[in-house]
Amino acid sequence: MEDCLFCKIAAGEIPSKKIYEDDLVYVFEDIAPTAPIHYLLIPKTHIKSAAEVAAENSALVGHIFEVIAKLAKDLKLDDGFRVVTNCGDSAGQTVKHLHFHLLAGREFGWPAG
């Protein structure tokens, strides 16, 4: 999709700190981390948000969660981690390309923080 920040990052047109990449998924450091580990996992194809997940692309979301589990194992996140996807304006989605925040390395409150 034209003028999508995360499409450009996945294509290497805008620099990012890469953590992991395969044919379907790109993982990079969040530019404004809110935890010692704060990575963003994005599909390489443009999906606007979790609201656009359907039969034709849900396997990709499953694959992203496989990558999350692999990273958590590799990074030894045995104490726990958080996965967040903000969907839509009221939830605070600022980039309209589906992404999952992987957060770890501190205590997390619930429901806030």
Catalytically annotated residues: 99
CA–CA–CA angle 103, 34, 30 (5° rounding): 75
Question: Comparing C-alpha atoms, which of 99, 102, 52 is closest to residue 72?
Answer: 102
List the structure tokens of 93.
């989605």
| Least distance from Zn ion to the Cβ atom of residue 63, Å | 17
46 contact choice in Zn ion, ligand AMP, none (CB below 5 to 8 Å, kind-dependent): Zn ion
**DSSP, residue by residue, 18-60:** EEEE-SSEEEEE-SS-SSSEEEEEEESS----GGG--TTTHHH
Q: Give the residue with the Cβ less far from Zn ion, 10 or 102.
A: 10
AA letter at 80: G
Site map 56..85 versus Zn ion, x via CB under 5 A: ------------------------------
1 touches, from Zn ion, ligand AMP, none (C-beta below 5 to 8 Å by class): Zn ion
Q: How far is the C-alpha of 103 from the C-alpha of 21, rounded, in Å?
A: 18
Q: Is 1 in the site for Zn ion (CB under 5 A)?
A: yes
Q: Which residues bind ligand AMP (CB under 6 A)?
A: 5, 16, 30-32, 40, 86, 92-95
Residue 97 binds which one of Zn ion, ligand AMP, none, with CB within 5 to 8 A depending on kind?
Zn ion
